């Protein structure tokens, strides 16, 4: 069989159609919610997925403060940062982050599931996370997607 006649499909910028998607984080496990959001942001759910392009949709996540962690992760899951000074390691738990900034947990989890390059940074701009049930993107008419829990 001659494989030279087959061509790999690559989406052109004119082929890409971006939609708006709404995900409700209430009582959803953080990892499952984040992986679903990352898949939609990346565009892997579409047949015209192209690895080096932004073919994904815009994602709005509401009720981030009501996301669920299983087991003792609220106390045991630690987030690391460094002040860039000697001995400047700082650790904070998921519980502390929830009190300070409820959207951090979801944003950080989704960011970790995206590519670690310029494309990943670009894709992250298509994510909007809100702590409560209200969001300012009703004009875009986001399509609500139900997650299996």
Q: What is the pLDDT of residues 68-113, one digit of tens each?
A: 999 999 999 999 999 999 999 999 999 999 999 999 999 999 999 9
pTM: 0.90
Cβ-proximal residues to 113 (8 Å cutoff; 6+ apart), any chain: 34, 35, 38
Q: What is the pLDDT of residues 21-51, one digit of tens each?
A: 999 999 999 999 999 999 999 999 999 999 9
- Among the listed residues 112, 21, 17, the one whose alpha carbon sits nearest the alpha carbon of residue 55: 17
Taken in order of first residue, the domains within the chain and their CATH numbers are 18-70+100-144 (3.90.1180.10)
**Element containing residue 123 per DSSP (H, E):** helix 118-124
d(CA 42, CA 120): 9
> Per-residue confidence at 147, pLDDT binned at 50, 70, 90?
confident
């Amino acid at each position: 069989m001659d494989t030279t006649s087959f061509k790999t499909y690559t989406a052109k910028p004119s082929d890409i159609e971006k939609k708006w998607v709404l995900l409700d984080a209430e009582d959803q496990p953080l990892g499952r919610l984040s992986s679903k959001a990352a898949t939609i942001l990346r565009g892997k759910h579409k047949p015209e997925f192209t690895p080096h392009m932004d073919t994904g949709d815009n994602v709005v996540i509401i009720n981030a403060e009501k996301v669920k962690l299983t087991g003792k992760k609220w106390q045991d899951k630690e987030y690391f940062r460094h002040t860039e000074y000697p001995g400047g390691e700082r650790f904070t738990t998921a519980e502390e982050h929830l009190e300070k900034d409820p959207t951090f947990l979801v944003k950080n989890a989704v960011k970790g599931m995206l590519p670690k390059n310029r494309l990943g940074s670009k894709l992250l701009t298509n994510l909007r996370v809100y702590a409560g049930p209200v969001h300012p993107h009703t004009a875009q008419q986001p399509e609500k997607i139900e997650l299996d829990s």
